[in-house]
Structure 1
Amino acid sequence: MEHQKELEMRAKDIMTESIVCVNVKETVFDAAELLLGSGVSAAPVVNDQGNVLGIVSEADLIHRAEIETAPRKSWLQRLLGSEATAARDFVSTHARKVADVMTREVVTASDEATLGELVELIEKHRVKRIPIVRDNKLVGIVSRANLLGALLSREPEGAVGLPDDKRLREAVVEVFDKQAWKSRWPVNVVVSDGVVHLWGFVEGEEVRKAYRVAAENVAGVKRVKSHLRSMPAAVGMGV
């Protein structure tokens, strides 16, 4: 278990440390120039101490009075809208300071956060990137691309000293025996030159696929040929 914890990847292992960020004192024009020049769609907004105060994105900058892209509201929306809403809309389309247009609710994570925790944050808050902080200071960014890079870093390499077919068969059977979805009917495993053949009956296509994937994940397996068949419903019901 301790060894597994050591191998567990964390935000600090995959984050991008060369961060494109905007100082809270800068203008919306500075922010637009930075986003455009850096080729990113959003950037954290920080103060002089490096604390994250918000995030500014292309979406915060495209509805502007200067280019006549401010949202046009129908007469009904204007009628039903409050003075506060109208004032907020005016600020978002006319303000010159980043502090006035940035999104203040920012989802951040510690540099010790696990990849699983990062994915949960990304999915829960429907964001594309997570600013990473240490001692309340911005130290990096983790995006979906960083997570894909982490996946590629774990791609299995060609096995050295491949096990013989007998040991390989034992390893595959052992993996199957541990699964909750294991078929109630016998599944026969035959291994020839590292190729695993599966024969027998299972309770449907999902279980058939799970057997194949489980075998493919056994170190030393070159290929899996599944000859598994779905058990007829009548047999499954005991008819």
Structure 2
Amino acid sequence: MRIREILRRKGDAVATVRPETTVRQLLAVLAEHNIGAAVVSPDGTSITGIVSERDVVRRLHEHGADLLDRPVAEIMTAEVRSCGPGDDVEDLRRTMTERRFRHVPVVEDARLVGIVSIGDVVKSAIDELESEREHLVDYIQRAP
């Protein structure tokens, strides 16, 4: 299965925030969209970084409530691992598991075209297993 199939099912909407967005504003975006991360982008198509709930929690522990009024550029991950729509989902699952990250932006022609979470990847694996099970059951029931 390819990443484009996941995007086809879930959609290509990506929550982005500008680098100067405050952490407080970021939290509002995450809550509004019920998501765990946002891509940091000055224009909605290029990627400057990614910022997650984990980033906020870890920095809150270090800096306290003053963190809420700081820009997300101070806490984002600047080295962002991305994938393309044609990439294999199984390869991405392995990479996400090994490197311990939960959100991967999808980029095509140097433009942000979607985002995939570990939940999306797991759901696609479960869907594939369910489809295989149905085919096997159908095959067994048709056997003489």
Q: TM-score, normalised by structure 1?
A: 0.49
For 1:59 and 1:140, locate their aligned partners in 2 and report how far apart those are by CA, in whole Å. 21
For 1:63 and 1:51, locate their aligned partners in 2 and report how far apart those are by CA, in whole Å. 26
* Unmatched runs of 5 consecutive residues or more in structure 1: 1-8, 72-88, 160-216, 223-239
Q: Aligned in 2, Cα 1:94/1:27: closer, same or farther, shift over 3 Å? A: closer
Residue of structure 2 in register with 1:132 after alignment: 106
Q: Which of 9, 15, 21 is the aligned partner of 2:16?
A: 21
Q: Aligned in 2, Cα 1:126/1:93: closer, same or farther, shift over 3 Å? A: same
Seq. identity, %: 27
CA drift of 1:53 comes to 1.3
For 1:158 and 1:17, locate their aligned partners in 2 and report how far apart those are by CA, in whole Å. 29
Q: Aligned in 2, Cα 1:57/1:158: closer, same or farther, shift over 3 Å? A: closer
> What SS class does the counterpart of residue 28 from structure 2 fall into?
helix
Residue of structure 1 in register with 2:116 after alignment: 142
Q: Which of 115, 120, 129 is the aligned partner of 2:89?
A: 115
CA drift of 1:219 comes to 6.0
Residue of structure 1 in register with 2:46 after alignment: 51
- Give per-residue Cα distances to partners, 1:106-162, cap 9 Å, x unaligned: 111111101122112212211122111111211111123322432315614866xxx
Count of equivalent residues: 135
CA drift of 1:63 comes to 5.3
CA drift of 1:11 comes to 0.8
For 1:144 and 1:61, locate their aligned partners in 2 and report how far apart those are by CA, in whole Å. 19
Residue of structure 1 in register with 2:76 after alignment: 102
- Contact residue 22 and residue 68 of structure 2 kept, 8 A: no
- Contact residue 95 and residue 101 of structure 1 kept, 8 A: no
Mapped pair 1:60 → 2:55: yes
After superposition, the CA RMSD in angstroms is 2.9
CA drift of 1:31 comes to 0.6
Q: Aligned in 2, Cα 1:158/1:13: closer, same or farther, shift over 3 Å? A: closer
Q: TM-score, normalised by structure 2?
A: 0.76
Which structure has greater strand proportion?
1
- Give per-residue Cα distances to partners, 1:79-118, cap 9 Å, x unaligned: xxxxxxxxxx69x947611111111121111111011221
* Unmatched runs of 5 consecutive residues or more in structure 2: none
Residue of structure 1 in register with 2:2 after alignment: 10
1:21 maps to amino acid? T
For 1:31 and 1:158, locate their aligned partners in 2 and report how far apart those are by CA, in whole Å. 42
Q: Aligned in 2, Cα 1:150/1:94: closer, same or farther, shift over 3 Å? A: closer
